[in-house]
């Protein structure tokens, strides 16, 4: 069988273990209306209302007490984000946000954008276990989490049945903060208004993934962002779990080492 090898950047901090999902456990944290999630309106370039959060979340030295979940694959602080064609990080707009998959989502064409904040014991236990696995040198017990999921979402101008499913999980112990970016199924990279092909969802300016602090200093582009290879982001990782990227975000942890993972 042909081997596909991807060179991946690794952030300093995560343990380079060969951890994998337990048998039968989904890569995604539980989501949907059965979990108590709210749902964004069906709207091109839409967003959630401003969401007050129960526990302040520290993102690169600044505490935030509210956030937005934007249809176009972004969780933002301070202001919503309607822009559909991604720019490279660092941004000039001064807007801090986490971008699991910044691209021209159109949930009118298909799919839903779910979100909830939670202090449910089972979710917090899972956050704690995950962070302790990837960052064993950092004492961490989660006291709050926010789960945003883009479920089977289509792209603007779609003339196909291609959809994407991905997720951002924010968690904190009240001081130290992390994000987990989970990719379940990525079938398209670009909406028609960003130069993509309506029939394939490819071409033009592809999606951007990573995060930007808004200060033009602290940011991270997941490798393959804004290139055709971002279609394969579900086979990449910085924590030895394909389809998952995890970062400490209360302070910047520079990505300076490299590693190679080969996927069958």
Quote the CA–CA distance of 245 and 130 in Å, as a whole number. 11
Instruction: State if pTM tops 0.85.
Output: yes
Task: With respect to residue 152, please indicate whether it lies within any of the assigned structural domains.
Answer: yes
- Give yes or no for residue 19 having a pLDDT over 50: no
Q: What is the pLDDT of residues 75-107, one digit of tens each?
A: 999 999 999 999 989 888 778 999 999 999 999
Q: What is the pLDDT of residues 47-74, one digit of tens each?
A: 999 999 999 999 999 999 999 999 999 9
Task: With respect to residue 139, please indicate whether it lies within any of the assigned structural domains.
Answer: yes
Task: With respect to residue 237, please indicate whether it lies within any of the assigned structural domains.
Answer: yes
How many domains in the chain?
A: 1
Q: What is the pLDDT of residues 225-244, one digit of tens each?
A: 999 999 999 999 999 999 99
Task: With respect to residue 53, please indicate whether it lies within any of the assigned structural domains.
Answer: yes
Quote the CA–CA distance of 141 and 1 in Å, as a whole number. 42
Task: With respect to residue 248, please indicate whether it lies within any of the assigned structural domains.
Answer: yes
Domain hosting 257: range is: 4-17+27-263
Tell me the two tokens of residue 182: 């989970």
Task: With respect to residue 95, please indicate whether it lies within any of the assigned structural domains.
Answer: yes
Task: With respect to residue 22, please indicate whether it lies within any of the assigned structural domains.
Answer: no
Scored b (16 or more CB within 10 A) or e, 81-101 reads: beebbbeebbbeeebbbbbbb
Task: With respect to residue 65, please indicate whether it lies within any of the assigned structural domains.
Answer: yes
């Amino acid at each position: 069988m042909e081997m596909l090898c991807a060179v991946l950047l690794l952030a300093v901090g995560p343990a380079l273990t060969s951890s994998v999902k337990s048998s039968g456990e989904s890569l995604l944290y539980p989501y949907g209306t059965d979990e108590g999630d709210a749902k964004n309106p069906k709207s091109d370039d839409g967003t959630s209302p401003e969401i007050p959060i129960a526990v302040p979340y520290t993102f690169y030295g600044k505490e935030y007490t509210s956030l937005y979940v934007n249809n176009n694959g972004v969780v933002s602080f301070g202001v919503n984000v309607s822009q559909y064609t991604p720019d490279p990080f660092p941004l000039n707009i001064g807007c801090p946000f986490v971008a699991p998959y910044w691209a021209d989502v159109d949930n009118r064409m298909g799919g839903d954008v779910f979100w909830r904040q939670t202090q449910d014991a089972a979710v917090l236990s899972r956050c704690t276990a995950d962070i302790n696995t990837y960052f064993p040198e950092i004492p961490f017990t989660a006291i709050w989490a926010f789960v945003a999921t883009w479920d089977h979402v289509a792209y603007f101008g779609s003339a196909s049945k291609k959809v994407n499913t991905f997720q951002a999980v924010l968690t904190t112990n009240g001081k130290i903060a992390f994000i987990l970016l989970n990719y379940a199924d990525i079938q398209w990279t670009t909406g028609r208004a960003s130069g993509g092909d309506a029939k394939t969802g490819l071409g033009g300016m592809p999606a951007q993934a990573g995060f930007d602090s808004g200060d033009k200093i602290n940011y991270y582009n997941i490798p393959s962002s804004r290139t055709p290879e971002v279609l394969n982001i579900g086979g990449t990782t910085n924590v030895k779990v394909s389809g998952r990227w995890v970062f400490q975000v209360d302070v910047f942890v520079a990505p300076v080492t490299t590693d190679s993972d080969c996927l069958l």
